[in-house]
Amino acid sequence: MKKIILEIRKELRTNTDPKYKKGELNFFKEKIKTYGVRSPVSQRISKEYFKKIKHLEKEKVFSLCEELLESGYIQEIGIAFRWAYKLKDQYEKKDFKIFEGWLKKYISNWANCDDFCTHNLGYLINKFPEFIPKIKKWTKSKNRWARRASAVIFIYPVKHKKYLKHIFEIADILLLDEDDMVQKGYGWMLKEASNIYPKEVFDFVMKNKNKMPRISLRYAIEKYPKALRKKAMQR
């Protein structure tokens, strides 16, 4: 199976777009490793090579995912998360520890964080809510991506009309976080919740608008009518 990883890396290098790579490096504030491969191409490669490993046991697929993650390349990390999500129906409680480890060890930018949280981790939490107390502990982590993840992870379940109480608890804890990536993360979580619970989220925003960072506030109220957005922005 090591051959699969080598073939993927060869194909990624073959599909490098120098202009796109330069744009990626300039786009992210964080330093990233990238082949400069456009997303549709990376997704195609992921899909094609998954066909060659889909017969394997979940543990072996996760092992291949770990190899991809260890490279640090944004495209390989994305492929690893897509492969792991393909096996979502096989997720077990023991996988939480694996995913938590991946989050804290391999994620170093918002794109991989959000991809992982809105798919793999979000699905897992939706299936096993008993891990929510552990998610809440991430809000106090020194790792900015773990703190962002503590909010973004709820975007998947809220679309299934779950966990509003926990969403507000997370937002309360992160309310004054000084990191803009965390501020945007919980603001996005509230915005997605507003699609299902518009009154409840607006009430929360109005209660906290004088304390919330402006960027979090703008994210949270983005889906509301202009009049309500104006009301929320008034200090």
pLDDT tens string for the chain (235 positions)?
778 999 999 999 999 999 999 999 988 888 899 999 999 999 999 999 999 999 999 999 999 999 999 999 999 999 999 999 999 999 999 999 999 999 999 999 999 999 999 999 999 999 999 999 999 999 999 999 999 999 999 999 999 999 999 999 999 999 999 999 999 999 999 999 999 999 999 999 999 999 999 999 999 999 999 999 999 998 7
Query: Which residue, 184, 146, 193, 191, is CA-closest to 166?
Result: 193
User: Hey, what domains does the chain have and what are their CATH numbers?
Assistant: 1-90 (no CATH), 106-235 (1.25.10.90)
Cα dist from 50 to 16, 45, 126, 137, whole Å: 21, 8, 25, 34
Q: Do 155 and 189 touch, CB atoms closer than 8 A? A: yes
Q: Which residues contact 150 (CB under 8 A, 6 or more apart)?
A: 135, 136, 138, 139, 141, 170, 173, 174
* DSSP-assigned letter for residue 87: T
Per the listing, tokens 């939706």 go with 126
- The type of residue at 114 is D
- The three-class DSSP label of residue 51 is coil
pTM beyond 0.85, yes or no = yes
Cα dist from 133 to 73, 78, 125, 228, whole Å: 31, 27, 11, 33
Phi and psi at residue 142, to the nearest 5°: -75, -15
